Structure 1
Amino acid sequence: MSEIKVELTRRAALLGAGGALAGASLAGSGAALAAAEPQGALPAAAARYAVGGFEVTTLHDGVVALQDPQKTFAMNVDADTFSAANAENFLPDDGFQISFTPTLVNTGTELVLFDTGNGEGARPGRGTMRAALENAGYSPEQVDVVVLTHMHPDHIGGLMEGGAPTFANARYVTGQKEYDFWAAMDPEANGVTKLLAKNVKPLAEKTSFLADGGSVAGGITAMAANGHTPGHMIYMIESDGKQLVLAADTANHYVWSLAHPEWEVRFDMDKAAAAATRKSVFGMLASDKIPFVGYHMPFPAVGYVETRGDGFHYVPASYQLQL
Structure 2
Amino acid sequence: MDTPIDRNAIQHSLPLGGFTVSTLLAGTRTVADDPQKTFGTNVRAEDFATVARDAFLPADRWQSYFTPVLVSTPQGRVLFDTGLSADGLLRALTAAGHTPDDIDTVVLTHMHGDHVNGLMTDDGPTFPNARHVAGRVEFDAWSQMESETFEAKVRPLAERMTFVEGGDAVVQGITAVEAFGHTPGHMAFRLDSEGEELLMMVDTANHHVFSLAHPDWEVSFDMDKAAAAATRRRIVGMAAAEKLPVIGYHMPFPATGFVEARGDGFRWVPATDQFRIAAG
TM score, norm. by length of structure 1: 0.82
- How much has 1:51 moved relative to structure 2? 0.9
Aligned sequence identity (%): 50
Do structure 1's residue 226 and structure 2's residue 180 form an aligned pair? Answer: yes
3-state SS of paired residue (2:210): coil
Relative to structure 1, is the Cα distance of residues 228 and 302 closer, same or farther in structure 2, using a 3 angstrom cutoff?
same
Unaligned runs of 5+ in 2: none
C-alpha distance in 1 between matches for 2:200 and 2:211: 16
Q: Which has the larger radius of gyration?
A: 1
- How much has 1:198 moved relative to structure 2? 1.1
Residue identity opposite 2:43 in structure 1: V
3-state SS of paired residue (1:305): strand
- How much has 1:134 moved relative to structure 2? 0.6
Structure 1 residue aligned with 2:124: 164
Relative to structure 1, is the Cα distance of residues 134 and 38 closer, same or farther in structure 2, using a 3 angstrom cutoff?
closer
Moved over 3 A (4+): 37-44
Give 1:86's match in structure 2, choosing from 52, 55, 62.
Answer: 52
3-state SS of paired residue (2:261): strand
1:1-323 correspondence runs (5 A): 39=3, 42=6, 45-66=10-31, 67-120=33-86, 127-185=87-145, 189=146, 193-319=147-273, 320-321=275-276
C-alpha distance in 1 between matches for 2:11 and 2:133: 23
C-alpha distance in 2 between matches for 1:315 and 1:130: 28
Unaligned runs of 5+ in 1: 1-36, 121-126
Structure 2 residue aligned with 1:14: none
- CA offsets per residue over residues 25-84 of structure 1, 9 Å max, x none? xxxxxxxxxxxx994865561000111110000000111001221111111111110111
Task: Give the root-mean-square deviation of aligned CA atoms.
Answer: 1.5
C-alpha distance in 1 between matches for 2:58 and 2:34: 10
Q: Which moved more, 1:73-82 or 1:143-152?
A: 73-82
Q: Any conservation in 2 of the 1:51–1:321 contact (CA below 8 Å)? A: no
Q: Any conservation in 2 of the 1:76–1:264 contact (CA below 8 Å)? A: yes
More strand by share: 2
C-alpha distance in 1 between matches for 2:90 and 2:5: 15
Relative to structure 1, is the Cα distance of residues 132 and 204 closer, same or farther in structure 2, using a 3 angstrom cutoff?
same
- How much has 1:321 moved relative to structure 2? 2.9
TM score, norm. by length of structure 2: 0.95
C-alpha distance in 2 between matches for 1:71 and 1:41: 34
- How much has 1:260 moved relative to structure 2? 0.4
